[in-house]
Amino acid sequence: MQPLAERMRPRTLEDYIGQQHLVGPNGVLRRMITSGRISSFILWGPPGVGKTTLATIIAGTLDVPFFTLSAVTSGVKDVRDVIDKARNSTFFNSSRPILFIDEIHRFSKSQQDSLLGAVEQGVFTLIGATTENPSFEVIRPLLSRCQVYTLNSLGKEDLLALCQRVLEKDVVLKKQNIELKETDALLRYSGGDARKLLNILELLSESVQGDEVLEITDTLVAERLQQNPLAYDKDGEMHYDIISAFIKSIRGSDPDAAIYWLARMIEGGEDPAFIARRLVISASEDIGLANPNALLLANAAFDAVQKIGWPEGRIPLAEATVYLATSPKSNSAYNAINKAIQYVRQTGNQPVPLHLRNAPTQLMSELGYSDGYKYPHDYPGHYIAQQYLPDASKNETFFIPADTDKVQKRQK
């Protein structure tokens, strides 16, 4: 018998759960289907949210030839073969066939290039599915010929609706005596993934026999799965989204949010050194001269994590996170170096003023090296105004102190 996820795969939009922004009454894909005209597009979203199912429903609703390729197992020859099949399946005034490519982000550049001509000529309508950001993984010429539609992780209400449908309609589970007592663990382990939810339900249902009652509770789900529900792909989209949220929460002075995202990374199995490095960067970029001690503490947390490891390493990371989030903020040094680098790239290698050059030899002294240099320590307050920038840049300003900076800038 087919797996539960395949048995319950929706065949129509009415059975499709979630993604109402695309397939709801005013959704762009529903309007396309209603009009009978589908343009090429890419479905971008996490696993188990219905990308393949949606492509299959569209092809079935429009009653057009449907070809599929998997980027994992297909090569350029397979692409050319399916293009030939698509050409041969198109007749006068007939609708264009659909080519669905799963995990299109895994296609090499040459494989993606081989699709361009057929898409431009209208040999088929391309529907791609990807879990990775298309702007990074799909070549620009192909991306410019496709719309990108984002699919979201299924929410709590969507997952609960799917549970009820499965228990009421699946040919196997509806015959069993299953009671859904608690759902928190079920939803947590599913992580917005419909396929994962169905796999969990199937695993639980296979543990009972005959008329035995299956009471689904949080404890039962945790015992049967014995895995970390929050693990994520460290090279995937979520990895970058969460670290971005973490840094922006620190920058926004929200310690609660920053600690939450830190906990998400810890529970997801993130490399502690990666977290610590980002704290050091944040201390320099966002706290900066408003609290120079922040960099010292972030660096100390980095050293502590390397010395003590997990699980105790979470404590110095948490301390540094809260300290940075609650510190005053300044990006004056960050802005200054960026502005100076940009200026140097534009103006090139300007000569060092003679009075700032050392004169270790008599010839250099005769040429004026170091002539006119004023030693600041010889003056009151250990300061004397003089020119330190190249002649052509002497009026430039790169460092503009923030009102939170713990430093003062002398007037030139």
Instruction: Going residue by residue through the chain, which has 412 residues, state the pLDDT in tens, using 9 for 90 and above.
Output: 688 888 899 988 888 999 999 998 889 999 988 888 888 999 998 888 899 999 999 988 888 888 888 877 777 788 888 888 888 776 555 678 888 998 888 888 888 888 888 888 888 889 999 888 888 788 888 888 889 999 988 889 999 999 999 998 988 888 888 888 888 888 888 888 888 899 889 888 887 776 788 889 988 888 888 755 555 555 555 677 888 899 999 999 999 999 999 998 888 888 888 899 999 999 999 999 999 999 999 999 999 998 888 888 899 999 999 999 999 999 988 888 888 988 888 888 888 888 888 888 888 787 888 888 888 888 898 888 888 888 888 888 888 788 887 777 766 6
CA-CA-CA-CA torsion sign (217, 221, 222, 223): positive
Distances (CA, A) of 305 to 214, 243, 271, 285, 296: 44, 18, 11, 21, 14
pLDDT at 263: 92
| CATH fold label, 156-225 | Helicase, Ruva Protein; domain 3 (1.10.8)
Query: CATH top-level class for 237-326?
Result: mainly alpha
Closest C-alpha to 207, from 218, 223, 184:
223
pTM (two decimals): 0.62
Domain ranges of the chain: 19-150, 156-225, 237-326
pLDDT at 248: 93
328, 290 Cβ separation under 8 angstroms: yes
* CA–CA dist 280, 284 (Å, integer): 6
* CA–CA dist 263, 68 (Å, integer): 40
| CATH fold label, 19-150 | Rossmann fold (3.40.50)
pLDDT at 327: 94
385, 411 Cβ separation under 8 angstroms: yes
* CA–CA dist 126, 142 (Å, integer): 10
pLDDT at 298: 94
Dihedral pair phi/psi, residue 291, rounded to 5°? -155, 80
pLDDT at 286: 93
Tokens encoding 201: 């339900």
